[in-house]
């Protein structure tokens, strides 16, 4: 059996740490990468994980790229604290590790997304997939502040089973998270965005809502879909407000 390291990035995840580590207990090494949590996450992880390392958080891709080379094993399963490996996904991963495909260096894994206590079937989240099972020396995250995906040096497969994903704690906490994302996105978009116009502040936010709620079927998810559509538009608007502030030196 090829050995596996599970990497779990954390930052004040005391409400998640027990369950996420329990879901990856089949891994040969559990490596928690903590960004100096103040809620007891670090202390709890010390009692549950194989190894816990700490680093000041800059942004997600930077944190993960720092952690990946420190994994003991060649194959890595990276799981965020708000995700869970289901028993079906675990069985599929173990089958792959018994006899890895020689030309495949990574695998896409779909996610079953939940929001405000409900499973999201549409709203642009239906086909959500991430590369999370990969070979350590063949993959690296893009240097982006938000929504960075792994770049691979080799072929990428796809797993049949999905991660359970629930990013929602409370509505206020989620809005705080989206505001952080908007701030990070402003930095990513600065180099590729020209002069800011009403197109950025009005049309793009409206299109974000329309795409998620109408085109991608968010209306079929009820109040949850409406909320997701609204938040998508809000984040786009805040991205350009924060970019405007950044360029004015007022961020």
pLDDT tens-place string over residues 61-109: 999 999 999 999 999 999 999 999 999 999 999 999 999 999 999 999 9
First to last CA, the chain: 51
* Higher per-residue confidence, 149 vs 27: 27
The 3 state secondary structure assigned to 29-87 is EEEEEECCCCCCHHHHHHHHCCEEEECCCCCHHHHHHHHHHHCCCCEEEECCCCEEECH
171-190 and 222-247 helices, crossing angle to 10°: 40
Confidence of residue 239 (pLDDT cuts 50, 70, 90): very high
Confidence of residue 147 (pLDDT cuts 50, 70, 90): confident
Q: What was the pLDDT predicted at 8?
A: 98
pLDDT tens-place string over residues 204-230: 999 999 999 999 999 999 999 999 999
Instruction: State the DSSP H helix or E strand holding residue 4, giving kind and residue range, or none if neither.
Output: strand 4-10
Which residues lie closer than 8 Å to 162 by C-beta, 6 or more apart? 86, 89, 109, 110, 111, 112
Residue showing tokens 């709620």: 213
């Amino acid at each position: 059996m090829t050995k596996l390291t599970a990497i779990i990035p954390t930052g004040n995840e005391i409400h998640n740490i027990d369950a996420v580590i329990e879901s990856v207990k089949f891994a040969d090494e559990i490596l928690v990468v903590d960004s100096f949590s103040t809620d007891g996450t670090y202390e709890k992880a010390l009692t549950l994980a194989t190894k816990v390392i700490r680093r000041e958080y800059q942004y997600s891709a930077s944190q993960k790229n720092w952690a990946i080379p420190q994994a003991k094993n060649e194959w890595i399963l990276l799981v965020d604290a708000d995700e869970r490996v289901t028993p079906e996904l675990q069985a599929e991963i173990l089958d792959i590790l018994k006899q890895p495909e020689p030309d495949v260096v990574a695998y896409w894994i779909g996610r079953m997304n939940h929001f405000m206590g409900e499973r999201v079937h549409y709203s642009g989240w239906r086909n959500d997939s991430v590369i999370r099972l990969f070979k350590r020396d063949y993959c690296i995250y893009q240097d982006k502040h938000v929504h960075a995906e792994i770049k691979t040096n080799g072929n990428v497969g796809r797993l049949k089973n999905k991660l359970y994903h629930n990013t929602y704690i409370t509505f206020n906490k989620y809005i705080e998270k989206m505001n952080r994302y908007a701030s990070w996105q402003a930095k990513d978009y600065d180099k590729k965005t020209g002069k800011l116009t009403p197109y950025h502040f009005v049309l793009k936010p409206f299109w974000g809502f329309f795409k998620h709620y109408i085109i991608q079927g968010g209306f079929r998810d009820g109040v949850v879909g409406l909320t997701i559509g609204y938040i998508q538009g809000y984040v786009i608007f805040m991205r350009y407000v924060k970019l405007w502030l950044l360029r004015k030196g007022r961020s």
